[in-house]
């Protein structure tokens, strides 16, 4: 059974003075209008919310009630930074299983309810709490700094190449009215910004954002009955890796990404990613994460990610535009919303509704790549029109 995306919505990302349910409804109302359906047409609601920085311990309950989905579930899922993709996958799987014909995936997060130090401490628990955070005080920037230094040592990747990923992200986000950051930056801005954890500086890091996104999925049967015009989910790949970083095979890439991509490519019969997609959204919580994603997804050879961004291959006019709406780095990274927002971006691009950020379509296919933690989870979706 085929499954398609028939409606998408996304709130403004940033520091938002609204409740979590109001934030979710911004995205849900847009998605319902986009699909031209009502709450009564939804068979199942899946809410993705990490919920570790908010005041609501059971956010799915209030979100579903406020959005008009009481009795439609709720299912709540959590997979760290990949929670949004887990929500979309749960809705997708329910339709594939014949449990629902039309389902909505809602990703929402209020990240700014706690101060930065508290948020950093919570993020440091994303891996193995007892071994890493409790004994060594590991924070999330430190995890990715470990990846960055390993990549630099082995492949010669430079701080300037990392900075170029940030510059690209901000340039795109400046044209996205829903992005957290609306200002372009320079390489010098990045290199001169405050050091967080060497070699990652302030502008190498994604912001702490509030936000919500929603995607409405429908079965092939519902598409035919209602006359929807879907963007089809052609394939899904998923994987995971060890919680304990000392048990990883290496620190220059993410095995979970590689395995998730292999599964998705096999399902869609893709042998050459660069000749298959018009755009990709990749998980760039830190600039090094985007560079590693190029390699792990097969856009370039291992070790060439720095040159890939330096040569403009991931920009408009390059081999594959990446993170056209600004990515996590500049659009924002509200954990539960991120993976659903990637689907939102892919759908907008494939429908040619991306405005000044629209890419030229040749293959009519898009890829989304969402990571939880530092490769603890990974999802890759392939969408096509």
Q: Among 67, 81, 285, 300, which one carries the catalytic annotation? A: 81
- Per-residue tokens: 78: 């959590």
- Per-residue tokens: 365: 């296919």
- Residue 366: how many CB atoms within 10 A of its CB? 29
Helices and strands, number each (H, E), in the chain:
13, 11
Q: How far apart are CA 200 and CA 205, in angstroms?
A: 7
Strand pairing report for 44-48 and 200-201: unpaired
**DSSP SS3 for 224:** helix
Q: Among 151, 283, 333, 376, which one carries the catalytic annotation? A: 333
Q: Is the dihedral of CA 52, 137, 373, 309 positive or negative?
A: positive
Does residue 74 have a cis bond before it (omega within 30 degrees)?
Answer: yes
Residues 41-78: b if buried by 16+ CB within 10 A, e if exposed: bbbbbbbbbbbbbbebeebbebbbebbbbeebbbbbbb
Q: How far apart are CA 73 and CA 71, in angstroms?
A: 6
% helix / strand / coil in the chain, to the nearest 5?
45, 20, 40
Strand order in the sheet with 279-281: 75-77, 44-48, 102-109, 211-219, 3-10, 231-240, 377-384, 365-372, 279-281
Torsion-angle region of residue 81: left (phi > 0), alpha (psi -120 to 50) or beta? alpha
Whether 151 is a known active-site residue: answer: no
Helix or strand run (H / E) with residue 263: helix 255-268
Q: How far apart are CA 319 and CA 75, in angstroms?
A: 39
Whether 134 is a known active-site residue: answer: no
> What residues are labeled active site?
81, 333
């Amino acid at each position: 059974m085929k499954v398609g995306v028939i409606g998408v919505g996304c709130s403004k990302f940033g520091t938002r003075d609204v409740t979590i349910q109001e934030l979710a409804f911004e995205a849900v109302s847009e998605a319902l209008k986009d699909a031209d359906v009502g709450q009564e047409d939804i068979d199942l609601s899946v809410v993705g919310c990490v919920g570790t920085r908010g005041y609501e311990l059971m956010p799915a309950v209030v979100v579903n009630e406020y959005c008009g989905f009481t009795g439609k579930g709720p299912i709540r899922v959590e997979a760290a930074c990949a929670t949004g993709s887990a929500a979309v996958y749960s809705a997708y799987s329910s339709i594939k299983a014949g449990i629902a014909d039309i389902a909505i995936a809602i990703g929402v997060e209020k990240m700014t309810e706690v101060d930065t130090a508290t948020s950093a401490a919570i993020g440091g628990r994303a891996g193995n709490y007892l071994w890493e955070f409790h004994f060594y005080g590991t924070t999330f920037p430190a995890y990715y700094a470990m990846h960055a230094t390993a990549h630099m040592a082995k492949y010669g990747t430079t701080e300037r190449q990392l900075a170029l990923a940030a510059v690209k992200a901000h340039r795109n986000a400046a044209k996205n009215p829903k992005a957290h950051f609306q200002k372009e930056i320079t390489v010098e801005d990045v290199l001169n910004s405050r050091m967080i954890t060497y070699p990652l500086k302030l502008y190498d890091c994604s912001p702490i954002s509030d936000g919500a996104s929603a995607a409405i999925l429908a079965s092939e049967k519902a598409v035919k009955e209602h006359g929807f015009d879907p963007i089809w989910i052609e394939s899904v790949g998923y994987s995971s890796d060890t919680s304990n970083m000392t048990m990883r095979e290496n620190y220059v890439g993410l095995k979970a990404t590689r395995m998730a991509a292999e599964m998705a490519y096999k399902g869609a019969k893709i042998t050459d990613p660069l000749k298959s997609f018009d755009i990709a959204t990749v998980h760039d919580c830190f600039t090094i994460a985007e560079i590693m994603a190029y390699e792990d997804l097969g856009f370039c050879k291992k070790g060439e990610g720095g040159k890939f961004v330096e040569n403009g291959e991931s920009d408009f006019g390059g081999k594959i535009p990446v993170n056209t709406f600004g990515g996590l780095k500049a659009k924002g990274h509200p954990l539960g919303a991120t993976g659903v927002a990637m689907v939102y971006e892919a759908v907008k691009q494939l429908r040619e509704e991306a405005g000044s950020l629209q890419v030229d379509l040749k293959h009519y296919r898009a890829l989304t790549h969402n990571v939880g933690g530092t490769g603890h989870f990974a999802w890759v979706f392939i969408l096509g029109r």
